[in-house]
Amino acid sequence: MSAPTSPVTPSGSADPSVETEPVMPTVRASQTARTILSSPRLRVGAPATAAAVLLLIAPSTFDGYGIGLLSKALALGVLAVSVVVLAGFAGLPSVGQAAPFMVGAYTAGIMGQHGHGIGVVQLVCGAGAAAGFAAVTGLVVIRTRELAFLMTTLAVGELAVAVAGQWHSLTGGTDGMYGIPPVRPVPGTALLDSDKSVYWYVLAATVVVVAVAWRVLRSPVGKLLLACRDHEARMRSAGHPVTLYQWLAYVAAGALAGFGGVLMCTVNEYVSPADGSFANSALVLLAVVLGGATSPLGALLGAGLIVATRDWLSGPFPGHGPLLLGLMFIIAVYALPNGVAGVKVRLPRRPGGSA
Amino acid sequence: MGALNAHLVPAVDGVAYGLLLYVAAAGLTLLFGIGGVLNIAHGTLFALGGYLAATVSDGSWSSALLGLAVAVVGGTLGGAVLAVGTAPLVERGELPQALLTFGLALVGGDILSTVYGGDEHPVVVPHAVNGTVHFFGHVYPTYRLMFIVIAAVLAVAGTLVLGRTRVGALLRATADDRAMVGAMGYAPWRVHAALCAAAGALAGLAGGLGAPIIGPGPDTADKVLMLSMVVIVLGGPGSVLGAFVAAVAVGEIETLGVSISSDWAPYLLFGMMAAALIVRALRGGLGGVGIAMPGKARA
């Protein structure tokens, strides 16, 4: 997996000096080879192609457990993409992003238990509920910066988990909701009652939503967010409603997280307050750090790596998944400064003049 | 009077619980308010102190003191690990440091659960305070009364150190303007290391002292981290008096509140927290971190 060298530009542009430099015919071949090897198209393309091939052949090669893990990784990956929107582009590294994820999952769980088992409807409602949650909490969260932002998002996340654990009549309390029935993707289709069918459904939904997110982030919307992240004061002076942009990004990221939560509920057929735990929020931050702050695809790959480490690689050491994950965190923080730097808060130290 | 009487024991329990939370939150708020590190491993250090004290204590005074000393040393060493780990990350902002502390918390939690297993470890308090005392016709554990006294002494001592001594002045100056403190000749890395060690020592001490109240077990780290965080959010980051009031309030909710209405107490806790967040957001507060001493207005 390639560590992105310039996390700020989402697409990354080829180094122009390589193309314009006059090259001797004798060295052209090696030069061309080097250009191809260092081209962003390949750096992004190779892991992406490998991942795509793996995703396509997985159902025929893996057992049920492996397929289930891949489905979970995809659902967690959607949550990680929401962190890319929020942390990478808007410069707001929430440590409570699992909360809207949990809201989406509970929405799907409650709908499923009340006989509303159409997958697409669940996805829309779950994303909507999570967006509503983010819209309300965002009013508080967006006003804080830096350490206070970490603290506030952590507090909001823990609050949501605590409410989910207490509200027995709606959520089943800390035991969670069991036996959520399988869904039909759209009316008239077959029930998703096997690991494979669930996997294809989750894969399709993930591809669609990540493609939409990717397209929006590559549009001027993404550029606006990056500009607000890096030059907040200048953007304000230019008349841009920066706080409104950031709030909208927070709501959109909430909707994405909720979408991922619905998928997770479909995979697990179980929802509990643990879905919204700080551990989940931190895991997807790690996924984003691993994948490069502004790369949705990298975030998906990072999520896959984390689920593989936690649930599969730890097989020989039962119960020691946290140890491996912890070491992964420690190594990532030191070894991938670019990944972390891309997520770091770049806003003014004190909101004295701007916020 | 009857109702008041029935709730006297939980109310006193709430004071003990609140003071424990105050001591526990002190280490977190020290590192958060002054050092700029959101220490996710704080609860793990508390649990470490508790486990160490539980292992050493056998019911004698000397073992209890030894257990406390071991807990403090363990916490300090944990703080030293934090200091070494976060020092290269200081320039890179808050998030890498918070992520590192989470990594350390995962590793530390795994080591603790491997060494001590998944059960709660009961702590043997010294025989002399293992009994109960009678007051106003109620029976109350002696240790908790003693704990209230010790924690109150600790709280007063900490406030005096922070407010009246040179070290305290240096800490408050660091919270306000780290660069200026560096220019005055205090090496920033030394201040950072001292803060981490002190925060670790406080967490270990709280874990050792509080082990008979919040016993060391698999859930201890998360619970203590969360309640300490609630205390900081409610009290206002960096406010000594605010943290004290918030800690006792949270302690009362967790004990008196539960005994009065077990259904609503958790909502009360988090409702208060939500209200505090909203009020601060409306006032535009919560942005700055620092240390506010009781009775002194902050610029």
B136-148: pLDDT as tens digits: 777 778 888 888 8
Question: How many CB pairs below 8 A link A and B?
Answer: 136
User: What CA–CA distance (Å, rounded) separates A306 from A52?
Assistant: 17
Chain A residues with CB inside 8 Å of B228's CB?
none
User: What CA–CA distance (Å, rounded) separates B45 from B207?
Assistant: 8
Reduced to 3 states (helix: H, G, I; strand: E, B; else coil), residue B176 is: helix
| B89 secondary structure, DSSP code | G
Residue with tokens 């969260």: A141
Among residues B10, B2, B7, B31, which one has the least CA distance to residue B200? B31
Among residues A261, A282, A268, A296, which one has the least CA distance to residue A325? A282
Amino acid (one-letter) located at A322: P
Domains and CATH numbers, chain B: 2-283 (1.10.3470)
> Which whole-number Å values give the CA distances from B74 to B43, B109, B156, B240, in the listed order?
13, 14, 24, 25
Residue B200 has what pLDDT?
Answer: 93
> Which whole-number Å values give the CA distances from B264 to A120, B38, B230, B269, B271, in the listed order?
36, 30, 17, 9, 10
Specify whether the CB–CB gap between B59 and B125 falls below 8 A.
yes
Residue with tokens 């043997």: B124
How many CB atoms neighbour CB A53 within 10 A? 10
Strand residues in chain B grouped as ranges (E): 132-135, 138-141
| DSSP symbols for A4-52 | PS--SSSS----HHHHHS---HHHHHHHHHHHHHH-HHHHHHHHHHHHH
Specify whether the CB–CB gap between B236 and B292 falls below 8 A.
yes
Residue B2 has what pLDDT?
Answer: 56
Amino acid (one-letter) located at A95: V
User: What CA–CA distance (Å, rounded) separates A38 from B202?
Assistant: 51
Asked if the Cβ–Cβ distance from B102 to A159 is below 8 Å, we say no
* A322 at interface of B, judged by CB pairs closer than 8 A: yes
Higher-pLDDT residue of B138, B295? B138
The answer to whether the complex's ipTM is over 0.90 is no
pLDDT-flagged residues of chain A (< 70): 1-44, 337-355
Asked if the Cβ–Cβ distance from B270 to A330 is below 8 Å, we say no
Mean pLDDT of all residues in B6-15:
81
Domains and CATH numbers, chain A: 42-343 (1.10.3470)
User: What CA–CA distance (Å, rounded) separates A225 from A216?
Assistant: 11
| A175 secondary structure, DSSP code | G
* A274 at interface of B, judged by CB pairs closer than 8 A: no
Q: Is A319 left (phi over 0), alpha (psi -120 to 50) or beta?
A: left
pLDDT tens column, A58-103? 888 888 888 889 999 999 999 999 999 998 888 888 889 999 999 9
For residue A154, give the nearest of B36, B85, B229 by CB distance: B229
Q: Please, which pLDDT band fits residue B81 given cuts at 50, 70 and 90?
A: very high
Per the DSSP assignment, residues forming a β-bridge with B138 are B135
For residue A162, give the nearest of B114, B237, B266 by CB distance: B266
User: What CA–CA distance (Å, rounded) separates A109 from A93?
Assistant: 28
Tell me the residue length of chain B. Answer: 299
Chain B residues with CB inside 8 Å of A341's CB?
92
* A158 at interface of B, judged by CB pairs closer than 8 A: yes
For residue A340, give the nearest of B96, B286, B287 by CB distance: B96
Among residues A125, A122, A130, which one has the least CA distance to residue A157? A130
pLDDT tens column, A244-253? 999 999 999 9
Work out whether strand B132-135 and strand B138-141 pair parallel, antiparallel, or are unpaired: antiparallel
Asked if the Cβ–Cβ distance from B103 to A330 is below 8 Å, we say yes
Asked if the Cβ–Cβ distance from B278 to A140 is below 8 Å, we say yes
For residue A151, give the nearest of B89, B107, B233 by CB distance: B233
User: What CA–CA distance (Å, rounded) separates B190 from B35?
Assistant: 11
Q: What pTM did the predictor assign?
A: 0.79
